[in-house]
Amino acid sequence: MTAAEVVAELKKLGNPTYKRIFMNQGAKEPIFGVKIEFLKQIQKRVKKDHALALELYDTGISDAQYLAGLIADPPKMTKAQLQKWVKTASWGMVGEYTVAWVASESRFGPELAREWIESPKETIATSGWSTFASVVALKPDDELDMAELQKLLDRVQKTIHSAPNRVRYVMNGFVIAVGSFVPALAPKAKSVAKVVGKVEVNMGDTACKVPDALEYITKVEKSGRQGKKRKSAMC
């Protein structure tokens, strides 16, 4: 399929109701409002097509950018391409999920995550924290910098309530990721979650809520899933 053909299909699949929901969550034009399940159906047909992924992302259309992340081949991503993606993410859903997922499975995940969390631009900082969360969920513990993760947890504890809106959300997600996927740091993550307490985030005109980090990590522990790494960042 060509990028033009995919965009034409996405336009037909667009749903005004879903578009309105996404817009209420912070999405910006251009967006068609395609259900994620439909994007995944296209993904199954296309499978991996890195060149097509790059073309789709460059359209700036939210639905196309999300699909681009699903069909991209992360190990083929260059640092320059990832920097372009993070700077041109159409909105939070793309930056916090698509960009972070692809970055975490690339050769530059931790490196770019470190850089991005320092950005004064909210959308880039959120991509950084989300990338760190995905790296933690994917990499074996012996490949993780435990000292760095502990420092990041301390940073979350000290700064989360004064951080920009969506940065608060992904910082909370980072604490959950560490507590869920790195057993050795679970006590530290739970301690941070307890001190932080409730995290207030403006989620837009939606029913979405910010997960309680301590409650979430505890639930993972009780289920016996703690420390079980994911095969892919994408879901």
What pLDDT score does 203 carry?
87
The pLDDT tens digits of the residues spanning 176-190 come to 999 999 999 999 999
By the 10 Å C-beta count (0-12 exposed, 13-18 middle, 19+ buried), 206 is classed as: exposed
Mean pLDDT of the chain, nearest integer: 97
Cβ atoms of 89 and 123 within 8 Å: the answer is yes
Residue type for 8, please?
A
Cβ atoms of 169 and 213 within 8 Å: the answer is no
For the range 52-57, what are the long-range contacts, defined as Cβ-Cβ under 8 Å and sequence gap of 24 or more?
Answer: 52/1, 52/2, 52/3, 52/6, 54/81, 55/3, 56/3, 56/6, 56/7, 57/85, 57/88
* Banded model confidence at residue 47, pLDDT cuts 50, 70, 90: very high
The pLDDT tens digits of the residues spanning 89-101 come to 999 999 999 999 9
pLDDT higher than 90, residue 196: yes
For the residues 162-184, what does the mean pLDDT come to? 98
For the residues 124-131, what does the mean pLDDT come to? 98
pLDDT higher than 80, residue 108: yes
d(CA 1, CA 146): 43
Residue type for 115, please?
E
d(CA 179, CA 218): 9
What pLDDT score does 48 carry?
96
Closest CA to 97 of 120, 129, 141: 129
- Mean pLDDT is lowest, of 43-57, 127-141, 196-210, for 196-210
Q: What is the CB-side half-sphere exposure of residue 176 using CA atoms within 13 A? A: 19
* Banded model confidence at residue 235, pLDDT cuts 50, 70, 90: confident
pLDDT higher than 80, residue 46: yes
What is the per-residue DSSP string for 48-68?
--HHHHHHHHHT--HHHHHHH
